[in-house]
Amino acid sequence: MEFCTLTKVFHNPLVSSLVLLSIATTSLINPSMASKRCDFPAIFNFGASNADTGGLAASFPFAGPKPPSGDTFFHRSTGRFCDGRLIIDFIAQSVGLPYLSPYLDSMGSNFSGGANFASAGSTIRLQQSVGQFRSSPFILGFQYSQFQRFKPTAKFIRDQGGVFATLMPKEEYFDEALYTFDIGQNDLTVGFLGNITLQQVIESIPDIVSNFTSNIKNIYNLGARSFWIHNTGPIGCVPLILTNFESAERDKYGCAKAYNEVAQSFNQNLKEALVHLRKDLPLAAITYVDIYSAKYSLFSNPKKYGFELPHVACCGYGGKYNFSNSVGCGETIKVNDIDIFVGSCERPSVRVIWDGIHYTEAANKVVFDQISSGAFTDPPIPLNMACHTKLTLD
């Protein structure tokens, strides 16, 4: 119940002073953290569908999201599994950068403000597709190797001058950039939908997390210094799990308890691994972001944020949770010889879940507002201060 306490604490007006106090303490303990506002010239993002701005859709168009995905904000399907913007879009917007172009998209990309290596279905370790889950070949280690190629290629293209130079980040941006991560949920999902026990999924976590931190080290070794690392969300609250495990015990907010416990075990493991990583990488500013608690508050207290039916997909089909394993958002299903199109609910702006797995833009915005304030991060510093000391504005 750690997250509930946390949420309550930060609704308290005392909280701002609490946060400030912790910031002061943190800068003493961790001299590599900035105490002034950061100036990130670029963002390099790694992850899966929660942070994919069109990478999978560019690589495998048939596997990408279909309209009405994108309708709320972009008015076209951009390859985001959402009706609008993702958390990474709100992050980019808040630091004054354009929405990130996917590294995998060869059409119209502009990488001057960074690049997005995230791709839907990605896992940390190589996994097979199981049941409803289609795994992506772009595992975290491949995303790292794409980034490794990106750096010298960007220099080569910049050196051509003219318009080419305006499409690539400058050399110094690589050290000064914010490096963001949102990956791991699919490694757990593969276990849930596969033929292994929850205990076996839990036992696989240390290996998954150690692969995660090894990749972070590799990226650090290429010059990255400021890391913003999301933990994994309450997977037990989403229609995919609630529908596939109808008889799994629910907590008081209607989420599948045992599945959330696996997510929390992953998060505990990641949090501890990052404590060690800070010792190994003294020049890095590493921020652990408790996405789990921020997202869980949408299910525990939906009314507070103006949401209704938090466990029901807005764009889905059938059953208690408006979700079906056989037809997805934007697809068509034949029922009694009649074609039924799976479209959007009437008001995605008051809904938490978009397609049964991913969140709506409205939910992403609430989560972004919570995490960017510093209330859900360790150390408890806001996004605009989550950089290495050398990178601050005077």
Binding site for ligand NAG (CB under 6 A): 98, 110, 112-113, 125-126, 141, 163, 166-167, 195, 211, 214-215, 309, 312, 314-317, 322, 342-343, 345
Taking the least distance from each CB to ligand NAG, the nearer of 3 and 144 is 144
The catalytic residue among 355, 372, 378, 388 is 355
Residue pair 355/50 in contact by the 8 Å Cβ criterion: no
Residue 49 a catalytic site member: yes
User: Which has the closest alpha carbon to 118: 86, 95, 149, 94?
Assistant: 86
- Residue 385 CB, shortest distance to ligand NAG, in Å, is 24
CB of 123 to ligand NAG, least distance (A): 8
| 247 annotated active-site | no
Backbone angles phi, psi at 268, to 5 degrees: -60, -45
CB 340 within 8 A of CB 333: yes
Q: Which is nearer to ligand NAG, 195 or 326 (CB)?
A: 195
Establish whether 290 is a catalytic residue. no
* CB contact at 8 A, 370 and 87: no
**Residue 286 bridge partners (DSSP):** 227
Q: Which is nearer to ligand NAG, 145 or 268 (CB)?
A: 145
Tell me, what amino acid is at 157? I
Question: What is the nearest approach in angstroms of ligand NAG to the Cβ of residue 204?
Answer: 11
Would you say 130 and 194 are in contact if contact means Cβ atoms under 8 Å apart?
A: yes
User: Which residue of the set 32, 49, 265, 373 is catalytic?
Assistant: 49
The DSSP annotation for 300-341 comes to HSGGGGT---TTS-SS--STTTT--SS--TT-EEEETTEEEE
Choice between 63 and 335, CB closer to ligand NAG: 335
Identify the active-site residue in 358, 372, 378, 388. Answer: 358
Question: What is the nearest approach in angstroms of ligand NAG to the Cβ of residue 85?
Answer: 17
Nearer to ligand NAG by Cβ, of 60 and 142: the residue is 142
Do β-strands 338-341 and 332-335 pair in parallel, antiparallel, or remain unpaired?
Answer: antiparallel
Known catalytic residues are 49, 355, 358
